[in-house]
Amino acid sequence: MQSFPIFLTLTDRRALVVGGGEPAARKVELLLSAGAQVSLVAETVVGDLASLIAEGRISWAGGGFDEADLDDLSLVIVASDDTALALRVSQAAERRGLPVNVVDKPRLSSFIMPAIVDRAPVTIAISTGGSAPALARRIRGEIERALPAALGRLARFAEIFRGQVRRTLDNARDRRRFWDRVFGGRIAELALAGDEIAARRELIRLLDQARHDSPPTGMVHLVGAGPGDPDLLTLKAHRLLQRADVVVYDRLVSPEVLALARRDAERVFVGKRRGEHALAQEAINDRLVALARAGHSVVRLKGGDPLVFGRGGEEIEALARAGIAVEVVPGITAALGCAASAAIPLTHRDHAQGCLFVAGQLRDGALALDWPTLARPRQTVVFYMALENLGTIADRLVEHGLAADTPAVLVENGTRADERRVVGTLATIAALGQAASLEGPTLFIVGDVVGLALANPPQFHFVSGISL
C-alpha cells in the first residue's frame, strides 16, 4: 500500500484553496459538499468561483498568499499553475503540519486527492498514488456503473437500526452474519426500492428470529486458491473469502490471493515444506473440526485445486466423521495454470492424446511410480513436487523408453509476477534446474507439446533454452 487511506471530517472546519481557475473551482465544490468553510487565494477567478464569492458561500482572501492565511486551517489545496507559489504554499503548510495537496504535483503533496464515487453517506475513494489519475477516473466509472444510485438510502436505513441490532446481538460474529443477511437479501432490495416500511418490518422480523436462534454450527469450505494469480480465483471463492470468519491456508497460497479475505478474518497458517510442517495433517484436521464446532465459517484455502495433490480428501473424511458440513470449491490446478501461462497445450491432436498428473515426491523413502506407463509416447506428463527428485525422474523416463531429447520445462511460481521457466530436454533439465537455483513451487512438464509451444513462443522469458 503506497498511501494510507483516510477520510477527513471537514464539517465547519476551515480549508484554503489557492488558485482561481477551473481546477480550483472543482476542488472548492468538493470541499463545500463535505461541509468545509472555504477561503480562496487568487488574483483572478472563473465565473463559478465569482458566483460563490458573491453568494457568500466562500470567502476571498485576496490575490497574494501570506503564511498567515494558514492560521486555524484543517486543509490546504493548491490548484495554481504558478510553480513558485505552489512550492511556497506547500513548504509553509508542511512546516505547520497541515495536510496539503498540490494538484498534479504529488512530490509537493502530503496527501493525494482521489477519484470519488459519492453515494452519501457511502463514499468510495480511488487513488493511483498520483501516478495515473486517468486510470483512477476509469475505475471510478466502472464502480459508478456497478453500484445502485440509491446505495446511500440503504446505508441510512441500516444506521437507524444499528444500535438496536448491537443491543440485541451481543456477539460480533452474530451481528456480522445478521447484516450479511440484511444486505444480501430482500430487506436490501426493499430499502433500495424506497419501500422503507416493508424493509423495516422484514428487518424487525429477522432480528427477532436471530435473537431466538440457537448458535449455528460452522461450516468448512475447501477452496482452491489457484496457482497464484488472484485473477484466476473463482467468483465463488472470492465471495467465501469475504464472508469467512477464519481462513486456514498453506504456503502455496499467494499473498495476493490471501489479501482478498475479509480484513478482520482470523488467518491460520498451516503450511508445509519438505521436512518442516507448521502442523501435521492430523492436527490440521482437528483444527478445522474445532473451528467449525465453535460456530465459525471456515475457508480452508489450498494452492491450486483442493482435491489435486492437496490432501483435501483426508480433510473431507475427518470433517464428515465429526458431522461437520463441508463444501468443495474447485480451483485452477497448477498444471492448467502453468501450461496456460506458457501456452503449452497439455493435449494436442497430433502430439498428445492424454495427460497424466503425477506426484514426484518420495513416499516412504522411495519414488514408486509406474514408469512404463509414464514413459509411453504421445502423451504429456506433469510432475508436481518433483524438484528434489528431478534427475531421478528424468533418468527413469529415459530408461523406460522416452527419448533423451524429449522436451521438458520447469515452471517456478507459475502465473505469478515472478514466474520463471527453465527449458531443456530429459537429458539436460536436471542440470539446468540446479543452475537456475529454483526455490518456489515448481512444476515439471514433459512431452512433445513443450517443444510445440516453443516453436511459436508467447511473449515470455526463459532462464535457459533449447533450439527445436
Element housing 173 (H / E): helix 172-183
Q: Indicate the residue type of 382.
A: V
Of the candidates 245, 250, 305, 448, the residue annotated as catalytic is 250
Rounded to 10 deg, the angle between the 196-212 and 151-168 helix axes is 30
Residue 410 pairs with which residues in a beta bridge?
Answer: 422, 444
Cα(465)–Cα(200) distance, integer angstroms: 67
In the residue annotation, 208 being an active-site residue is answered as no
Residue 446 pairs with which residues in a beta bridge?
Answer: 381, 408
**8 Å CB contact between 463 and 420:** yes
Work out the number of other CB atoms within 10 angstroms of the CB of residue 318: 19
C-alpha grid cell for residue 395?
Answer: 533418468
Of the candidates 69, 82, 272, 395, the residue annotated as catalytic is 272
In the residue annotation, 448 being an active-site residue is answered as no
- The residues near 385 (Cβ < 8 Å, ≥ 6 apart) are 309, 359, 360, 361
Work out the number of other CB atoms within 10 angstroms of the CB of residue 109: 22
Contacts 24+ apart (CB under 8 A), 345-350: 345/449, 345/452, 345/453, 346/380, 346/382, 346/445, 346/449, 347/380, 347/449, 348/448, 348/449, 348/452
**8 Å CB contact between 348 and 449:** yes
Q: How far is CA 83 from CA 88, 103, 131, 150, 200, in A?
A: 9, 11, 19, 42, 55
By annotation, the residues acting in catalysis are 250, 272
